[in-house]
Structure 1
C-alpha cells in the first residue's frame, strides 16, 4: 500500500471519508446513508449557518431539505454548542457525552468574557428558571426572541451579546437545546425532555470514541487537526488516540503523519493496483462552514493559500460556500437572486465565481451539482 500520498491525494481521500463522494463500488450495495447516519459519522457538523448545515447533510445523504428537517422534528438531530463554542449539529443521543468532554474547557475559555458582561452564577440561575417556566407555559418550545423578551422583563439585559451568552451557557449545561424546526430556524426546547435516550460514556470511553470517530470521518488528518477540532488537552488526545490507534491506519505526506480509517487508506491501492483514486473529476458545491474545510486546522490540501482570502474575506471567520473541483477549492458560489443574476445562474439557483478556469467536462459536472442542489431545495 502506498504510504506517501500528495496533498492533492489527501484532499480527495477526505472527500471519500466525509461521505461527500458517491458510494464507492465496494459498498454500493449498502443502503444509502440517511441524515442521521451522516451526522453520526461526522459526530459534530458545523452549524452556525443553519441552511448551510442542512445542505451539508443533504449533500452527503442525497436527502431533500424536507427530509433533513424531518430528522430535527423527530428529535433525532439537534443543534447546540458541543465544540469550540460554536453551533454544531449532532445526533441527539451523542450531545451529552461530547459535552462531558468539552464543556468545562469552553466555560474556562469564556470566563473573562462573562465577567465583562456581568454574568454571575445568580444571573444564570435566574435565566434558567425563566427559561424552564417559559417552556412550560408555551407547550414545551419557544423562540430566541421570546427568551430574550422574558430575560429583559426580569431585568436581565440581553444587549452586547449578553443574551447570546445566556443561551450559550444554558445549552452548555444541557438545560436548553435547539430542536424542532421553526420556519428557517429552530425552536429552543428542554434538553431533558427532548433528548429521549442520551448515551452516557465514562471519560476514557468517550475520549476513545471521539478520537475514533474523528479520524474515521475526517482522515487523513493529523493529531494537530484533531486538537484544533476538539480543543481537548494534549493529554486527553493522547489517551483517546492510544486507545483506538489499532483500528486506524497512518500515511505520511511531506514528513507529516496522518491518521485515517483502514477503508479510506485502502483507496490508495497497492504498487500493482492501477485503479484511480475517486474524485479526480468531481465538481461539488459545498456550503460555507462545511466540515471539508472547517474540520482541520491545516486546510492547505484543499485550499491554496492565494485563494484563502477569497474564501474567507478579511480572515474574519466567515467561510463562503465553495466550488470544489477534484478536491481543491476552485471558486465560491451563492444562491442566485433577482434578475441581475439570471444570465449566469445554474439550475435556476446557483451563481458561481471561479478562481481557476474549469474544463468542459468540469462545467458539465458543475451543472449536475447545481441541479442536485436545486432538487434538495425543491424536490
Structure 2
C-alpha cells in the first residue's frame, strides 16, 4: 500500500474537499479541482461530489457552497435550492444536511433507522406518545398535500389546531420525526423561517438503489470528497455500523484505493493520487508555526465538511487550538481562517444593511502579507453576501 506523508495527505484532502485555490483571469480567487478537469460548477454538482453537507446552520451551509462556487452569490445558491438541486433533511446522525434532492429517500432509508431507534427514548423524555407523533405526521401530510408549503411556525399552528401542541423541543421533535420518516423535508426559507414540504411531492422521481449500491455510493462520495480519510471517519460521518462502513468500502471496489499516512490506513479516489505533491524531505505538520508570510488562505464557515467530515481532525487542527474552535466542546464550531489546510484563526461576522463587518482572531502569529491575503479572502465572502467588507479589530 502506498505510503504518503501527513503534509501530502493534507494537500490531497483540501483538493478532495474542493478547497484548493487558484487565481482566475479576472483576478479574484476561487477553488479548482485537483485533477485539472472541470470542477463541479453548480450547487447540484458540489453536493453530489461531497455526498452531503452539514446544514444545521443555514448561513454556514450557504457559504459552504459559496466558497466552492466562487462565481455564485447567496442569491444564486438560494435560487438553486428553489430549483431543487439540493434539499435539507436529517439523513444521518439526526443532524440537518444538504443532500442531492433525488438521493434524499435512499439516504434516509439507509441511515435513518439508527436515528429513529433512539426516537422512542426522546419522546419519553418529552412526554410525547408514539400515537401522538403518528397523528402529527398524518395531520402535516394532509395539510401539505397538493403542493403545500408551510413555515415552521405555520406547521406548529396547524398541529395546535388539531389539539397537538408543539411548543419548544416538542414541536421540533415532531417536525424532525416527520422528516426522518421521509414524509417532510426542509425547503428554502420563507423570509427568515424554515419552510416544509412533502418530500414525495418535492422530489417526485427519486433514485432507488438497492442497499449494496447505496452503501457503495455513499462510500465513494465520502472518500472522493474528503480523502484521504479513515474507515472510522466514514462510519462516524454516516452513523453507520463499523460493519456497514466496511461493506460500503468493499462495494465501491477499485473506485477507491488505500494509502497509509504515518502507519494509518486511509482511502481516497485513485485519480487524486496523480497530483500528490512530491516531498523528498517530508516535514511534520506545524502546530504553532512562527510568523512567516505566504501560503493560501481560505475563510470557511464553522459548520463545514472541512472539519465536520472527520472524527480525527489532527491534520487540519492543532490540539492547542481545539478549545478556540469548539468552545466548551459543545458541538458548536467557530468559523475558521485556514492557511494551506491548517486552521490559523477564527472569525465572526455581522451583516449590516450595506456592509459586512468581520472580526478575525488569529491563533498563530501572522505576517503583514498574511493579513493582506486574509482580507482578500474575505472580499470573496463579501461578494457572496452582497455587502462591502469592513475588517474590524478583535
On whether the aligned pair clears a TM of 0.5, the verdict is yes
Structure with more of its chain in helix, by fraction: 1
- Residues 188 and 175 from structure 1, CA distance in 2 versus in 1: closer, same or farther, beyond 3 angstroms? same
How far apart, CA to CA, are the structure 2 residues paired with 1:374 and 1:288? 17
Pair 1:331-2:339 in alignment: no
Which aligned pairs between 1:68-217 and structure 2 lie closer than 5 A? 68-136=77-145, 140-217=148-225
- Residues 304 and 31 from structure 1, CA distance in 2 versus in 1: closer, same or farther, beyond 3 angstroms? closer
Pair 1:253-2:297 in alignment: no
Name 1:240's counterpart in structure 2. 248
Which of the numbers 331, 342, 358 marks the counterpart of 1:317? Answer: 331
Partner SS, residue 350 of structure 1 = strand
- Residues 133 and 254 from structure 1, CA distance in 2 versus in 1: closer, same or farther, beyond 3 angstroms? same
Structure 1 contact 11–302 (Cα < 8 Å) conserved: yes
Name 2:11's counterpart in structure 1. 12
Aligned length: 363
Partner SS, residue 27 of structure 1 = coil
Name 2:46's counterpart in structure 1. 38
Pair 1:371-2:379 in alignment: yes
Partner SS, residue 67 of structure 2 = helix
How far apart, CA to CA, are the structure 2 residues paired with 1:59 and 1:2? 31
- Residues 163 and 119 from structure 1, CA distance in 2 versus in 1: closer, same or farther, beyond 3 angstroms? same
Structure 1 contact 124–166 (Cα < 8 Å) conserved: yes
How far apart, CA to CA, are the structure 2 residues paired with 1:31 and 1:12? 17
Pairwise CA distance, 1:2: 6.4
Pairwise CA distance, 1:367: 1.4
Which aligned pairs between 1:283-298 and structure 2 lie closer than 5 A? 283-298=297-312
Deviation by residue 1:21-56 (Cα, 9 ceiling, x = unmatched): 22147425x265211111111111000110110000
How far apart, CA to CA, are the structure 1 residues paired with 2:34 and 2:110? 37
How far apart, CA to CA, are the structure 2 residues paired with 1:26 and 1:105? 37
Pairwise CA distance, 1:359: 2.3
Pairwise CA distance, 1:185: 4.2
Structure 2 contact 8–277 (Cα < 8 Å) conserved: no
How far apart, CA to CA, are the structure 1 residues paired with 2:279 and 2:328? 44
How far apart, CA to CA, are the structure 2 residues paired with 1:179 and 1:304? 37
- For structure 2, the residue ranges without an aligned partner over 5 or more in a row are 21-30, 283-293, 388-394
Partner SS, residue 215 of structure 1 = helix
Further displaced range: 78-87 or 30-39: 30-39
How far apart, CA to CA, are the structure 1 residues paired with 2:278 and 2:9? 16
How far apart, CA to CA, are the structure 1 residues paired with 2:121 and 2:377? 45
Structure 1 contact 103–172 (Cα < 8 Å) conserved: yes
Q: Calculate the TM-score normalised by the size of structure 2.
A: 0.86
Deviation by residue 1:182-203 (Cα, 9 ceiling, x = unmatched): 1244310111111132100110
Pairwise CA distance, 1:302: 0.6
Pairwise CA distance, 1:337: 6.2
Pairwise CA distance, 1:361: 2.8
Deviation by residue 1:218-257 (Cα, 9 ceiling, x = unmatched): 1010000001001111221121111224222222122211
How far apart, CA to CA, are the structure 1 residues paired with 2:158 and 2:375? 48
Pairwise CA distance, 1:268: 1.6
Name 2:74's counterpart in structure 1. 65
How far apart, CA to CA, are the structure 2 residues paired with 1:231 and 1:107? 12
- Residues 147 and 358 from structure 1, CA distance in 2 versus in 1: closer, same or farther, beyond 3 angstroms? same
Name 2:57's counterpart in structure 1. 49
- For structure 1, the residue ranges without an aligned partner over 5 or more in a row are 275-279, 339-346
Name 1:355's counterpart in structure 2. 363
Deviation by residue 1:288-311 (Cα, 9 ceiling, x = unmatched): 111000000111111111111111
